[in-house]
A and B are shown apart, each in its own frame.
Chain A
Amino acid sequence: MNKITIDPITRLEGHAKIEIFLDDKGEVANSYFQVPELRGFERFCEGRLAEDMPQITQRICGVCPEAHHIASAKTLDAVFHVDPPSVAKKLRELFYSAFFVTDHTTHFYILGGPDFVIGPEAPVAERNIIGVIGKVGMELAGAVIRTRMRNHRIIHLLGGRAVHPVFGLPGGVSKGLNEEERKEVEEIARDAVEFGKLSLKVFDDIVLKNKAYVDLILSDAYTQKTYYMGLVDDKNRTNFYDGKVRVVDPDGKEFAKFSAQDYLDHVAEHVEPWTYIKFPFLKKIGWKGFIPGRESGIYQCTPLSRLNAANGMATPLAQEAYEKFYSTLGGKPVHHTLATHWARLVELMYAAERLLELARDPEITNPNFRTIPTAVPTEGVGVVEAPRGTLFHHYLTDEKGIIKKANLIVATVNNAAAINISVNKAAKGLIKAGQPVTEGLLNKIEMAWRPYDPCFGCATHSLPGQAPMEVVIRDHHGKVVDRFSQHLKR
């Protein structure tokens, strides 16, 4: 059997590879999306001080350390049985909203966006952020860089550091905002709202007004029906910081809604011998293999999933964008993987608006941002929405607050099975017997995983750690007949 290898896959955080097997006719028999590394966090977290977990677990992922930091701080609230003051929760959410603004910006313009802004089959040397700058112009490029830098400034102001913050503690945070800092945050937030609007317009102009792109989004190769997961508030609107986990079925009907502490009733993880990543699935349906649909326990949690799992957005401009999203794509739920890029921009809009609301909250400068825990620490679960999906932390401690057991279901891992199916479907839809396999075509296969914005730093928390990508094509004897990788020519 022929095999195509893409190694490493590129424009993502971390390491992964794709293997595509061809049958004797040259059609795709099967594809595997492999994660080649693991680091083993769950093991070496044992014995650590519980309060160090926000800083230790964020080293799972330096792209989304804020997600681990906040999920961990919330888990510590539960472990130490302490309820942080209201301003502490707001400060964490403000910090987290700034993080969503910068992270979604990074993905759309640097990682995923080049496929659309430049084009899926454009020359490799242009298909990156530098090419994006050439296409959209220096003005917008400047806005991208500024938005990232200024929202990292907020992360720095509160978290103490721009990457790997330090302010999360059981019962609150170590640092608050004074009035001068609040004003600065408000100004950054106002700009973020403008940037959110601008980005939706960019999508509208470059993608939605281009029939070829819209056809690509709607095409069968990039369509797959699964369950969808996302965190929602008490009105079933998308929330990143807190709420209940809601799961909808492939028809958009509520399948489950649960609190973080009940996650083990709903989610389990399957192990395969050919990859270091585990495959979570809905426990009540069970693991049925790499198949989509209602009968399979596979679910997704991505920006698209969160929109599908919610009834709307909690802020006005994001709600407007949400409505346009579904009216354009033919109603809920949307199953087109490539629409995830658009959903990400709807969320960017929400994060920016929520950031501004919190920056204007009269309570936000209250210096009472910490409650000292007094109860004996035991066990707790915490959940947040990371940009790449629902993130669960679960710790069990001894009476001194030393970690005895830790369990982590990390954002990208939730999507591992769905990514495999998406890649396989795209490969089957795009590779045809007798037709040449070009670099552009392989990039189109990569476009099937890129919307998930997978973060294999996260994925590999449990094992040795890496993920760029290559495609290997093998014949039906398993012999490598071709190996493809993308070339940057200069």
Chain B
Amino acid sequence: MGKLKVALYWAASCGGCEIAQLMIGEKLLKLVEVADIVFWPVAIDVKYKDVEAMPAKSIDVCLFNGGIRNSEQEHMAKMLREKSKVMISYGACAHEGGVPGLANLHNRERIFQTVYFDTVSTDNKDKVVPQPKCQVPEGELNIPVFYDSVQTLHHTVDVDYTIPGCPPEERTTWLALEALITGKLPPKGTVITHNAKAVCDDCARRKGEKRVRAFYRTWQKVPEPETCLLEQGFLCAGIATRGGCGAPCPAANMPCTGCYGPVEGVTDQGAHFLGAVASIIDSKDPDEIKKIVDTIPDPVGTFYRYSLPDSLLRRARIK
């Protein structure tokens, strides 16, 4: 069997997925033994034209990270899908939109207004806004079209597998790569992790009955080191988040923020988290319940930190 041809690409993401791929460390050398990397802009000098010239399905596996935020990313996703036998959605942004997906609370106009006009250091008396087509003295320049919404990769093209996380932990990346190398691939559509149950299943903190009368912000008190953070009133998303990461955030005394996405069988992670939180509020008095709920001032950022574009609503309606 010839070497596997692998492509790695990034769309609307931060580069953390690339660093996560490098995190497999010495196992990289093992990967290079069995695979040729045919496209990876962060590390090798292959250009778009080279990819365009590749025959259909000539790439064995494409690891695609980042959401779809503009026309170029959509184009690259479609092109790489056509060239690749297996398309893997890598990381929270491709999987669910990720943190940049919070931009779906706004639209292009509002974002441009803030970035190019309202930010305090911007000096834009001439009211200039970047244009997809722009005439400069020497000719025309083009940049991609910025869309109103962030879309996930699976909303844009057919995806075979998902590796979740922001970014995926090293063990998760390797679990998937090993499956690829050995050819022992799970059924199409699988979200590849060590644990399809909740992060709580990975978490070493002691769990008891969850009854909460007040929620705390992380800056308001120092958590007790041994017990479940949610029981202490911190909004830990572990209860509604797929495990397999090893629960590193609660181990560092900070709540899980949900980056591995929903647990198996759940579509809307935020609704699941919200439901779980509602069920542990220890009161039957509507006024008291309202007071307790008011201690959650940013529900979207808390419950849908990574998953707004993949939620049932997908985006805010802008009047």
Q: Residues on A close to B: CB < 8 A?
A: 1, 3, 6-8, 10-15, 19, 21, 29-30, 32, 34-44, 46-49, 51-52, 55-56, 58-63, 65, 76, 80, 106, 110-111, 124, 127-130, 145, 148-149, 152, 156, 159-167, 169-171, 174-175, 263-264, 267-276, 278, 280, 283, 287, 370, 372-373, 394, 400-402, 405, 407, 409, 443, 455, 457, 462-470, 474, 477-478, 483, 485-488, 490
Contacts and interface: CB of A to CB of B under 8 A. Distances in A.
Given A36-B72, A40-B115, A47 B301 contact: yes
B285 interface: no
Contacts of B49: 470, 483, 485
B25 interface: yes
Contacts of A48: 102, 298, 301
Given A40-B111, A407-B121, A457 B105 contact: no
Interface in B87-104: 98-100, 102-103
A37 B67 CA distance: 12
B121 A110 contact: no
A2 B258 CA distance: 50
Given A43-B114, A62-B15, A278-B122, A38 B50 contact: no
Nearest to B253: A174
Nearest to A12: B42
A52 B301 contact: yes
A100 to B, nearest CB: 15
A395 to B, nearest CB: 11
Given A62-B14, A469-B47, 17 more contacts: A11-B44, A37-B73, A38-B111, A52-B305, A59-B99, A59-B166, A61-B15, A149-B26, A161-B252, A166-B254, A167-B253, A370-B222, A463-B146, A468-B47, A468-B48, A477-B139, A478-B139
Contact of A36 (B32, B105, B134, B144): B144
Interface string B1-32: 00000000011111111111011011010001
B222 A268 contact: no
A80 B116 CA distance: 28
Contacts of A156: 248
Contact of B110 (A43, A169, A470): A43
A65 B48 CA distance: 27
Given A37-B70, A169-B219, A8 B41 contact: yes
B25 A145 contact: yes
A10 B10 CA distance: 12
Interface of B: 10-20, 22-23, 25-26, 28, 32, 36, 38, 41-50, 66, 69-70, 72-73, 98-100, 102-103, 105-106, 110-111, 113-116, 118-124, 128-131, 134, 136-141, 143-144, 146-147, 166-167, 169-170, 217-222, 248-249, 251-254, 257, 259, 297-298, 300-302, 305
13 contacts: A8-B47, A13-B42, A19-B141, A30-B138, A37-B144, A48-B301, A52-B257, A61-B15, A62-B18, A170-B219, A274-B143, A278-B115, A470-B47
A65 B28 CA distance: 22
Given A110-B43, A464-B146, A21 B138 contact: yes
B134 A273 contact: yes
Given A21-B138, A163-B19, A478-B139, A465 B69 contact: yes
Contacts of A171: 219
Among A30, A276, A464, which residue has the most Cβ atoms of chain B within 10 A?
A464
B136 to A, nearest CB: 6
A124 B19 CA distance: 23
Contacts, number: 334
Given A59-B98, A457-B14, A478 B19 contact: no
Contact of B300 (A21, A47, A469): A47
Among A40, A161, A402, A478, which residue has the most Cβ atoms of chain B within 10 A?
A40
A62 B19 contact: yes
Contact of B46 (A13, A264, A488): A488
A272 B128 contact: yes
Contacts of A39: 12, 69, 100, 103
Contacts of A160: 248-249, 251-254
Contacts of B102: 44, 48, 56
In order of increasing CB-CB distance, the 4 nearest A-B pairs are: A62-B16, A485-B47, A160-B252, A478-B139
Nearest to B5: A490
A161 B249 CA distance: 7
A149 B14 contact: no
Nearest to A272: B128
B263 to A, nearest CB: 20
Nearest to A37: B70
Contacts of A8: 41, 47-48
Nearest to A377: B219
A174 B110 CA distance: 35
Nearest to A28: B138
Nearest to B20: A163
